[in-house]
Amino acid sequence: MVPWRILPGFAPSSRAPLPVAAGRRFHPTHRMRAIAALLAVTNVTGPGNTYSGREKKLDVPPPRIEADVIVDGALTEPAWSQAAVLTGFSQFQPVDGRPATDSTQVLVWYSATAIHFGIRAYEAHGVVSANLLDRDKIFTDDNIQILLGTFNDGRQAMVFSVNPLGIQADGTLNEGTGSRGGGAFGSAQQAREQADLSANFVFESKGHITDFGYQVEIRIPFKSLRYQSKDSQDWGINVVRQVQHLGQEDSWVPASRAGASFLNQSGRLIGLNGLRRGLVVDVIPEVVTRSLGAEDATTGQWDYTRDGPQVGGNVRWGITNNLTFNGTVNPDFAQVEADVAAIQYDPRAAVSYPERRPFFLEGIENFSSPSNLIYTRRIVKPDGAAKLTGKIAGTNIAFLSALDDRTTSLDWADPATRADANRPAYNILRATRDLGGQSRVGLVYTDKVDGSYYNRVAAVDGRFVFKKIYTVRGQVAGSTTHRGPVTANAPLWNASFDRQARSLQLTYSINASDPDFRAASGFLSRIGIVNAGFNHRYTIFGKKDGPVQSMQFSVNPQFTWQYDRFTAGKAWQDGKLHFNENTTFRGGWRAGLSLLLERFGYDDNLYRDYRLLKPAAVGFDTIPFTGSGRLNNLDWVLSLGTPQFKRFSADLLTIWGQDENFYEWSSANIVTITANVSWRPIDKIRIDAQYQHLEYNRKTDGSTVGIRKIPRLKMEYQIARPMFFRVVGQYDAEQQAALYDDSRTFYPIVRPLPYQPGVVAQDLGFSRNDLRVDWLFSYQPTPGTVMFAGYGGSYEGPEHLRFSGMERTDDGFFVKLSYLFRM
């Protein structure tokens, strides 16, 4: 007997739903049709092929069907009528455990060479946010995220995401290495770790808006996946749906926020067998040519020098189902867009930037390490590199070896040793071993050799989960650095305890590094200190239809010591007590307010080169700059965020109050603003504007000691799905007044001047006004096959926020071609 079952929102028509304009509000006829669809009675072929997450039917045996289908988003081929159906979604954010407002169905089946997903997302409100966008830029739209844990370990997953038009985003999620957000600056707290979108996988997708919502078809070839070497295997599976007009995130698995792991709460695709990955060899030859412009020092004329054509290439070889080799020779690592300028609040802490280069992005999740002991941007422009990544017998292995260009050598900076400069060699190993259900231990080894210089780092780390909501992490590392006649050995260590319950969350952590610790293959924003933090968070959930969906309160004491003072048992240098409140309102509106109470101690290391000019009987004498013992801060933080509307979204973060003036080590009135606005006037155009502002005004007389303003504008026109044109302009204006010993002696300050290495003089201030403009035409039908044509130019001007007098300092045109040959 064929069972009949009521499936909410199922459209019974055997024909493909008719497309309608993205985001168009329903005509009354369409609205009635949607209501009728929600009440439809559907013929389900075969018992047990519908799997409701809310009914805890989380083990899904998808049917194996030998069929060729066209990925067109229609879902009309006979294979789809036999697919397993995932339904019964639950809300996860902002409140977990509630039935999803909108109905979602995910159809799944597989063949010998690929796994297929069909998505029917029902939208009774008639509002679907969908735009023609570039890859990985879909998360301001409604979207579906498929999390495939092909090793069924609850620790890692490949993420395949699509918006209603089938535009793709993809990446990886590795539990214990991602970011949950939240913190002292009033940002909204994420209830789960976010995927790293660095990786790009080759898969097919097509979708369209329908009269009931939207529908998408996805085909993921097994060539694009890593999975177990078994004849029959089970995979972890979850599906997440983001509904922008509601500000909600739904999950097929009724996942709870009271858990150390989101991935470990996944369901399973069981009984997959006879998977044929075949030979996996990707060869990507590439050619790049440039024309670089600069002013000729002799003639004063602008002159262009041709660079190239430069030929290189990448190769990817799937040695086994779960072990991959990547190699590159003479790669082009030119960025097609300048990094977003980052404001530095503390001059003692360096700023890092994300990796964007294709070779390093492949398998980058396997190199994730506590304390950032691996940071591939240290390898600047390698002549050649190779890496091996995969999982063998429960152990993740990632090995990278590279030879960097001679111009990156330490010897190259000195003309006297330039002729003997070597190519710096890097060797990086990361291994993690699974323990029990969710725990793991790891190993890191890095080695950089540059002539007689070398730096080696070895570390062990562990992540241990117990009683589902508690996590303990720890790491111990040591470095050996040899330069000239000196060899230094130094330790690094950290530990943390985390409680991730539904309402009460705790994170206690401590991390420390010796002043001599070095990680030449990693990134440490600051060394020689000990940081201890005690983060307490409590969340209150509102009623289903109430104006407030959730409120989170947190109290965060933090302390910083100089490492030597900590080991000697002396008092902390900096102390902070932050009170934060974050609210999520119905419809996706967000607001946060924080109060920051801080005491900063005088840092001898930062000011050891400072001197004061003291008037003497004849001329001036220089005397040491000693500073006062501690500065007291009191700051307020306000954050506001709109929902992701169809055409518009915005957020604002502002900080004001009394803060430390690092320029002169005195108290100052601070104003900082970060504002972001995204506007999509039509489906194909996206305009993103950002403004950053940081200003310090002396408390003694109100004068401005330092100010920085960074407006940035990005405009993208998506000509077609694989093709776009982009223009980015970023202006960076910074001014610093002449420095003196504010609030104490008022003597002028003498110090090494910024931007002038080796020059020590009275600091009379500076004005820096830089403009960077980049445009890019991009055609990228699949990852690996690209055509880029672009221009970038830098300009400088004498006046703060004045464009008329700006002069070009350098520019360049480039064309890049590459093609993916997949065997």
Same-domain check for residues 356 and 501: yes
* 59-60 and 267-273 beta bridge pairing: parallel
Same-domain check for residues 263 and 356: no
Tell me the per-residue pLDDT of 386-419, one tens digit each, with 9 for 90 and over: 999 988 877 889 999 999 999 999 888 878 888 8
Cross-strand pairs, 207 = 216
Same-domain check for residues 256 and 156: yes
Hey, what amino acid is at 207? G
Place of tokens 């977003």: 340
Same-domain check for residues 173 and 261: yes
Tell me the per-residue pLDDT of 549-606, one tens digit each, with 9 for 90 and over: 999 999 999 999 999 999 999 999 999 999 999 999 988 899 999 999 999 999 988 9
pLDDT band at 755 (very low <50, low <70, confident <90, very high): low
- Tell me whether residue 534 is in a domain: no
Neighbours of 445 (CB within 10 A): 17
Same-domain check for residues 269 and 371: no
Q: Strand, helix or coil at 113? A: coil
Domain boundary among 216, 251, 273: 273
Question: What pLDDT is attached to residue 338?
Answer: 64
Tell me the per-residue pLDDT of 591-612, one tens digit each, with 9 for 90 and over: 999 999 999 999 988 998 899 9
- Tell me whether residue 668 is in a domain: no
Q: Domain of 172?
A: 4-273
Assess contact for 786 and 818: CB atoms under 8 A: yes
- Tell me whether residue 735 is in a domain: no
Q: Residue 76: CB partners within 8 Å, gap ≥ 6?
A: 14, 15, 16
| Average pLDDT of the segment spanning 735-742 | 93
Nearest to 457 by CA among 442, 425, 479: 479
Same-domain check for residues 269 and 374: no
For 589-638, give the secondary structure using H, E and C: CEEEEEEEEEEEECCCCCCCCCEEEEECCCCEEEEECCCCCEEEEEEEEE
Same-domain check for residues 512 and 381: yes
Which range (187-201, 206-220, 374-388, 462-476) has the least confidence?
187-201
Mean pLDDT of the chain: 87
- Tell me whether residue 320 is in a domain: no
| Average pLDDT of the segment spanning 705-714 | 95
Same-domain check for residues 137 and 266: yes
- Tell me whether residue 281 is in a domain: no
| Average pLDDT of the segment spanning 244-254 | 92
- The enclosing domain of 214 has a CATH number of 2.60.40.1190
- Tell me whether residue 54 is in a domain: yes
- Tell me whether residue 8 is in a domain: yes
Which range (254-258, 302-306, 331-335, 517-521) has the least confidence?
331-335
- For residue 486, pLDDT beyond 50: yes
The burial of 615, by beta-carbon neighbours within 10 Å (0-12 exposed, 13-18 middle, 19 or more buried), is given as exposed
Same-domain check for residues 360 and 247: no
Which pTM does this prediction carry? 0.85
Tell me the per-residue pLDDT of 206-238, one tens digit each, with 9 for 90 and over: 999 999 999 999 999 999 998 988 889 999 999
Assess contact for 724 and 717: CB atoms under 8 A: yes
578 to 188, 275, 666, 820: CA distances (angstroms): 15, 53, 21, 51
Domain boundary among 224, 254, 273: 273
Domain boundary among 527, 562, 578: 527
Assess contact for 236 and 268: CB atoms under 8 A: yes
- Tell me whether residue 113 is in a domain: yes
The alpha helices in 202-294, defined as continuous H runs, are none
pLDDT band at 341 (very low <50, low <70, confident <90, very high): confident
User: What's the number of domains the chain is made of?
Assistant: 2
Backbone angles phi, psi at 370, to 5 degrees: -60, 150
Same-domain check for residues 255 and 383: no
Same-domain check for residues 108 and 256: yes
Same-domain check for residues 371 and 504: yes
Q: In what order do the strands lie in the sheet with 104-110?
A: 50-52, 84-87, 104-110, 114-122, 213-221, 204-209
